[in-house]
Structure 1
Amino acid sequence: MTIQILTLTIDNKQVSGLASETVLQVACENDIAIPTLCYLEGLSSHGSCRLCMVEIKGSAKLHPACVTLIQEGMEVTTQSERLLHYRRSIIQLLFSERNHVCAVCVSNGHCELQDLARDLGVNHIDFPYLYPALSVDASHSRFVLDHNRCVLCTRCVRVCSEIEGAHTWDVKNRGIRSLIVADFDTPWGTSETCTGCGKCVHVCPTGALSEKGKSVAEMLKKRPFLPYLMANRAQEHR
């Protein structure tokens, strides 16, 4: 099998990567930071959060770096006023669509949404808050699902399907009415497919999925298992 190496430019820096790699992967390999919320190494790329949008010379539209394959001679810009405005708007919309009250969240200080808001300079919200009446599912013996803090990144859906193989989680409804549900919208605690592994909890970027017994700022996520498990699964299928 022929390995094809392509050369491109990211932020005026000449880099190279495999033809099968995305702009985000090559950027990460070269210590070029691109913000993202739905992407997580070890899981399939979904392109749902749109925070990793970049500019590509010759194209008027923005492109999601996590699902855009590199091309020979491609010229990519990851930081610009246009991109900063776009990313700040996305963060603001995420905060306004749900009930993110950081001061009382178990993931306060350990939240990727919170970190992105700080890094992008989002210190206020320009959009009206929707204050949806969303439920909290504490029916599981060990874990809690709080829809108020969910950003619909679907990391939990993908890790449950791709890594654990349980296929417990899915998404119902569309748009801002979308909700993460277990087993065709049944209480998590009654799920017949959930193995209780906790992988979904530890890939969640916010406090939407947490362990019971955790107080404010006590929920730390553990993610190093993902690349390890993916490597083992790939080895098994050879």
Structure 2
Amino acid sequence: MTHAGGVRRMRGAWIVWAAAVLALAAAPLRAQAEDTASACVRAAGGEESADWVRWACAGTDFDAAVRFAVSLPAAWEVGSPRDAGLQVWALNGRVQMSVAAQDQLHAPATQSDTLGFWMRATGIRLGREPELRDVDSFRRATQNPDKARRAVTRAQQRDTVLLAMAHGLSLSHEGQTVLASTAEVRPLAGAPAGWLAETTEQNGEAWRSASYVTVRDAVVFIATLRAPDEEFDAALPLWEQTMATLEMRTDRSAPATPP
């Protein structure tokens, strides 16, 4: 996959995640408690209270190394759609929260996808379509996939890149009318993150959203709050509490399915 193809895949995934939250097409996790195939489950030994439930999420296939955990309001409906990447959402009426993740550089397993890995990593690091000499230079400089992921992560944690990624979350890509939009860089779970706040018009009604996007170990993590305009301000403090519980990491010992 070329860098341009990788960017399209990531942007497409962001839009799918936003659409999945709006569509709410997944069954509640409460109904999936005995289903071990679920991507997100109640965290074993996790701290719970009358107000919060801890959820642990682990990816499969290309996202097999991805892990995150978050505490969600106990009274809210929770779901984890299997056809929209690694994601968990929580719903209370028309107020929606979601956390999602996707690995940009899964573990190469064959000669073909090893070449693809280095082409994608180089392109992301440079922010453009790489030439073969770029790939060769980057591979010599980093020497192994772990160092390449670290270099990619540093490149994507630059303010300009995070802001571009935040703008990539805009619902304007879904054809919605954006009435107001603000983007900046903010901290999230100890790392810099792009942050996008939007007011959009949907079926004649104003909706507001706020989203974070950040990168850890070449994995993109996205968290979003969306609600009708008149309900957004009341939901924001609870969402900020939720974000304070978010933990993001990877387990690179987990195998990835080769392409």
TM-score (norm 1): 0.28
Question: By percentage of residues, which structure has more helix?
Answer: 2
Question: By percentage of residues, which structure has more strand?
Answer: 2
**More relative contact order, 1 or 2 (CA 8 Å, 6+ apart):** 2
